[in-house]
Amino acid sequence: MGFFWSLTMIIIYHLFTATLISSVTSLSSNNLSPTPTEFLNFAKKREVFDWMVGIRRELHENPELLYEEFQTSELIRRELDILGVSYKSPVAVTGVVGYIGTGRPPFVAIRADMDALPIQELVEWEHKSKVPGKMHACGHDAHVTMVLGAAKILKEHEKDIQGTVVLVFQPAEEGGAGAQKIIDAGALENVSAIFGLHVLPNIPIGEVGSGSGPIMAGSGRFEAVISGKGGHAAFPQDSIDPILAASNVIVSLQHLVSREADPLDSQVVTIAYFQGGGAFNVIPDSVNIGGTFRAFSKQSFMQLKQRIEQVITGQAAVQRCNATINFFQEKHPFYPPTINDGKLHEHFQQVAGDMLGEKKVNDDKPVMGAEDFSFYQEVIPGYFFSLGMEDASLGPLEHLHSPNFRVNEDALPYGAALHASLATSYLLKFQQDVKVAEGAGRDEL
């Protein structure tokens, strides 16, 4: 009798534990109070929407390049002060890191990049850039606004936050590896996960896209100076022609992808400029070429770098030329591949599906573009997704980095609410997982 009673109790215990784990594992953001839909409705309130639009337009009128975002930082601090959000500043030169919630673990981060681009805006509208040659042509003004919008939502519902949401306003995404400086400053210590987004003009408004695993490539840049001996074009035998050498270099570099890379391991080598000579009848002393190389794995990326260097020096030597190569790693560090965490992908799909509907959560194909959010993902689980802006009533929207790029401001509430929902529901699930782990470890019912 004692044996069967003990066996029965063991079975009941394991069934109880399995049910508890199952119930938490299937935890939906619908358990949140408020729900993702309520967050979105809050963000769409006229006064909240108008406030976000005002911030976005002020940022757009005053673009600042990488590590020069002092006015942008001042605006962020001003709005956080009004909301009553504590923060640290400066972080990574111009960055701001805010905190909402209990001030205690667990910690989850949401990130916005702050910098503009050296592009002259061609969009004619009331809030056009006031700074000649500078423009928010990549939507970072919208990204900052959305995280501030999330801060407003979170502050309104701070009592429901089961942990701390870290607001990361990051400088220098456009080539300056600002994310790495944020990490070096210790701003993400004890943070368990981080979320980020990017607006895109080719996804319909109210829809999102992303995926699990590699979604963007690792990226680097290079320049080569190929030196020969200049002379009169009528007497090539008296010269060493660097233009011919550079031409052979370019053709050979294309073979690195077509003949050395696994066809299932996507890679890119692009020569984007070729500069040399200035007259029809003069062979120049040297030629400059430069471009970018990209891959979805670090191993392939570093192999590509090594072979680029070997091919340039080797092909130059064949034509009796010398070559020097610069990869600009100090000024423009290599960006790692952007790799989304699998568990965070499931979390994103559930939260975004609850808010927008499952049919509006799209699987994106990986692209060869790069993003410095990848630096965060090297140290903690991270998730990066796309937010749609396309609306037929606005006509075609130009793509990123175009002087005609426009932001559909109707996307602002979606980004703000998604940031807030992803963070709060993550913290809730984190707390529940801890409770399950503690419950599973007990030896009594």
pLDDT tens, 50-105?
Answer: 999 999 999 999 999 999 999 999 999 999 999 999 999 999 999 999 999 999 99
Residue 269 near residue 291, CB atoms below 8 Å: yes
Tell me: do 159 and 234 sit in the same domain.
no
Tell me: do 193 and 110 sit in the same domain.
yes
What mean pLDDT is predicted for residues 160-183? Answer: 97
Query: Is 174 labelled a binding residue?
Result: yes
Q: For residue 445, what pLDDT is reported?
A: 31
Asked if residue 437 has pLDDT above 80, the reply is no
pLDDT tens, 392-414?
Answer: 999 999 999 999 999 999 999 99
Please count the CA atoms within 13 angstroms of the CA of 98 that sit on its side-chain side: 28
Q: For residue 4, what pLDDT is reported?
A: 42
Query: Is 138 labelled a binding residue?
Result: yes
Tell me, yes or no, whether 276 lies in a domain.
yes
What mean pLDDT is predicted for residues 326-331? Answer: 92
Of residues 140, 193, 174, the one with CA closest to residue 343: 193
Asked if residue 433 has pLDDT above 90, the reply is no
Tell me, yes or no, whether 285 lies in a domain.
yes
pLDDT tens, 372-384?
Answer: 999 999 999 999 9
CATH number of the domain that 249 lies in?
3.30.70.360
Its domain, for residue 279, covers: 218-326
What is the pLDDT confidence band of residue 434, given thresholds at 50, 70 and 90? low
Q: For residue 346, what pLDDT is reported?
A: 97
Tell me: do 140 and 193 sit in the same domain.
yes
Asked if residue 440 has pLDDT above 50, the reply is no
Asked if residue 167 has pLDDT above 60, the reply is yes
Q: For residue 331, what pLDDT is reported?
A: 87
Tell me: do 211 and 138 sit in the same domain.
yes
**At 198, which amino acid appears?**
H
Can you tell me the distance from the alpha carbon of 294 to that of 266, in angstroms, rounded to the nearest whole number?
Answer: 8
Can you tell me the distance from the alpha carbon of 209 to that of 388, in angstroms, rounded to the nearest whole number?
Answer: 8
Query: Is 321 labelled a binding residue?
Result: no
What is the pLDDT confidence band of residue 282, given thresholds at 50, 70 and 90? very high
Domain termination residue (choose one: 267, 295, 326): 326
Tell me: do 47 and 155 sit in the same domain.
yes
What is the pLDDT confidence band of residue 430, given thresholds at 50, 70 and 90? confident
Asked if residue 15 has pLDDT above 50, the reply is no
Asked if residue 175 has pLDDT above 60, the reply is yes
Tell me: do 208 and 223 sit in the same domain.
no
Tell me, yes or no, whether 145 lies in a domain.
yes
Tell me: do 150 and 295 sit in the same domain.
no
Query: Is 140 labelled a binding residue?
Result: yes
CB-based contacts of 80: which residues, under 8 Å, 6+ apart? 86, 87, 96, 98, 148, 151, 167
Of residues 125, 175, 116, the one with CA closest to residue 143: 116
Across the chain, what does the average pLDDT equal? 91
Number of domains composing the chain: 2
User: Among the listed ranges 141-145, 182-186, 253-257, 427-431, which one has the minimum average pLDDT value?
Assistant: 427-431
- Burial of residue 156 (CB within 10 Å: 0-12, 13-18, 19+) is middle
How many residues are given for the chain? 445
Of residues 199, 201, 134, 194, the one with CA closest to residue 170: 194
Tell me: do 50 and 78 sit in the same domain.
yes
Of residues 361, 363, 348, 340, the one with CA closest to residue 429: 348
Tell me, yes or no, whether 14 lies in a domain.
no
CATH number of the domain that 122 lies in?
3.40.630.10
Tell me, yes or no, whether 139 lies in a domain.
yes
Asked if residue 441 has pLDDT above 60, the reply is no
Domain termination residue (choose one: 326, 345, 380): 326
Asked if residue 44 has pLDDT above 90, the reply is yes
- Burial of residue 185 (CB within 10 Å: 0-12, 13-18, 19+) is middle
Tell me: do 305 and 349 sit in the same domain.
no
Tell me: do 225 and 321 sit in the same domain.
yes
